[in-house]
Chains A and B, each alone.
Chain A
Amino acid sequence: MSEFALETRNQLVGLFGIVERNVYLTKRYFLWDIAFMVWTIANTLTIVFIARAAHLPPARENALATALLVGATIWAFLGIIFEFMTETVAWERWEGTIEYTFMAPLSRLVHLFGQGAFAVLYGLIRATILFFAVAAFIGIHAPLANYPAALGLLALASLSFIGVGIMTSVLPLISPEKGAQLGFVCQGVMLVVSGVYYPVSVMPEWMQWIAKFSPATYALRGCRHSIILGTGMVWADVWPLLIIAVLATPIGLAVFKVGERHAKKHGKLKRSG
């Protein structure tokens, strides 16, 4: 086997290892996951009930409830991705395995992408459960919904989310104590400019300008249109997502490498538990 082929094979096995480890951990924490799922559903209900309180005609109430539900579902989905990505470092530091993982011959791209791939898979399952559980509870009707298109858009946006997540995953390397929480700050900021529970057009102009660079803007708009109006994957949403996806991962990786070098220089690449 040539050196390149051997290296590629080893990296793919490593990628599988990251996903496999997350499967093991998900099995071990399954009951906690159920508890967290219940909390997410309750949290989403507090948002979607706002549509009922608006006292609108039934059709408009249904549309508002669906728009809010899409926002809350994508918030939860993005939350999972950011949580997994920031925990790439924070969790391993807590368990004490960080040094073994970072001294292993696994490329950082494969390492972080493996973590992101599992997060997307896991997040999609949770988002699907959340969406249909809340929709059933509230009694949302979506007769025109094009779910495959909404899922496709979310999957496409996930590539960008992984890239942004890679950028945030470096934060616990730079600040072992508070870095993980900063990842959630990034999630909140990204969603607030992307029109999570409202159209982007209601925001000040400077925020609308920032929204153009957020993948969540296109994911939210596309998913809402697909579920409420039944539109498919519209090119106007697809091309910005494609461009951001192509740029986000290399930028994220470059940011991570700078952070990793800083951590190695200052002795921060180590366990804390």
Chain B
Amino acid sequence: MSTFAPSTIDLALRLDRQAPAVEARDLRKTFRRRDRKTSGRFARKRPWPALDDVTFTIARGECVTILGQNGSGKSTLVRLLSTLLISDGGTARVFGHDVDREASKIRRLVNRVSVEASFFKKMSPSENLSYAARFYGMTPHQTRTAIPEILNKVGFPPDRRGEAMENLSRGMQQKVALARALLTSPVLLLLDEPTTGLDPRSKLEVQEFIRDVRTEHDATILLCTHDMAEAEALSDRVGILDRGRLLFLEPVEDVKRRFNVETLEQAFFAATGREFVAEESDAEDDEYREVFG
């Protein structure tokens, strides 16, 4: 760990140990979405609550999973905590810092892995990782050893480090995305469907890696997914986000007991009144339509 983003480690040590990793109170975010019944230039837009009075706390070192279908608000929550969105109401604090007013303090502590492994496609994994690492104060001297080390750790083949990202499989790209997140030693890791679209083997490797990050790096993890087995395998607590509302956030066994069921999928059905459809498409579909549609 010592070779990764030392300045971040320094800051992490100065964190308020009493403050929860994440604390959200009555968090609200509403987008305006085109009404599907009307069309054309003057199509009406109606408010669509992506997050509706969401309240929860994540303790330091905890791994929490938020389950929800596409458009349920999972990505909006991750983007709010990443300081990429401004809420319409309520508060969100990361290690005691307000996400709207103290964004610069939070940015050094947080990193994320999203469903799309977003990289400069013509650049190699090493070049992409260097680019990301510089933003966190890592010099070329530091990344010279840290990048091969982290790529080894995620099982990325050394002979492909110089290849353009566009030539790598999706599983390989997602490993580089994990490496990018860990390279900056985040104290809070936001994982937005990190295994969606991966083959079973890659999925297991990524899950194993998430376990390692937690144990070795003492990171707090917020995982958003629609993979029930993944949620059950990795999390201390599980919550269901349904149409912007967080229905509960409890240990898996408590959830099953609460609904008197044997699986999380049955619990989802009992909580929302709908079947769980594990869609493979972009979870931010609805938000995308809002902005570009």
Contact = CB atoms under 8 A, between A and B. Distances in A.
A101 interface: yes
A3 B130 CA distance: 23
Choose among A102, A103, A176 the residue with the greatest number of B CB atoms under 10 Å from its CB.
A103
Given A13-B137, A267-B287, A103 B82 contact: yes
Interface string A241-268: 0000000000000000000010011111
B121 interface: yes
A103 B112 contact: yes
A20 to B, nearest CB: 7
Contacts of B112: 99-100, 103
A106 B136 CA distance: 8
A10 B31 contact: no
A264 B81 CA distance: 12
A271 B122 contact: no
Contacts of B118: 95-100, 271
B84 A13 contact: no
B290 interface: yes
A198 to B, nearest CB: 41
Contacts, number: 112
A98 B135 CA distance: 13
A103 B291 contact: no
* Interface hub of A10, A20, A98, A265 (most chain B Cβ within 10 A): A10
A9 B115 CA distance: 32
A104 interface: yes
A268 B82 CA distance: 14
Interface in A82-109: 95-107
A43 interface: no
A17 B84 contact: no
A98 B131 CA distance: 13
A60 B118 CA distance: 56
A33 to B, nearest CB: 13
B122 A103 contact: no
Contacts of B123: 21, 24-25, 28
A16 to B, nearest CB: 6
B220 to A, nearest CB: 16
Given A100-B132, A266-B291, A267-B85, A14 B137 contact: yes
Nearest to A22: B131
A59 interface: no
Contacts of A268: 291
B122 A102 contact: no
A6 B84 contact: no
A23 B147 CA distance: 19
A100 B119 CA distance: 9
B110 A103 contact: yes
A90 to B, nearest CB: 13
Nearest to A96: B118
Interface in B130-188: 130-139, 164, 180
A6 B10 contact: yes
Contacts of B218: none
B287 A97 contact: no
Given A28-B122, A177-B292, A17 B134 contact: yes
A16 B143 CA distance: 13
A13 B79 contact: no
A29 interface: yes
Contacts of B116: 96, 271
A269 B134 CA distance: 21
Given A103-B110, A264-B85, A267-B31, A17 B291 contact: no
B28 interface: no
A267 B69 CA distance: 19
A24 B127 contact: yes
Contact of B121 (A95, A98, A177, A269): A95
Contacts of A270: 79, 84, 284, 287-288, 291
Interface in B82-124: 82-86, 104, 107-108, 110-112, 114, 116, 118-123
Given A6-B7, A17-B131, A100-B132, A25 B122 contact: yes
A9 B5 CA distance: 13
Given A28-B123, A97-B118, A104-B107, A269 B136 contact: no
A268 to B, nearest CB: 5
Contact of A10 (B82, B83, B86, B137): B137
B86 A261 contact: yes
B127 A105 contact: no
A267 B88 CA distance: 12
A17 B288 CA distance: 29
B61 to A, nearest CB: 22
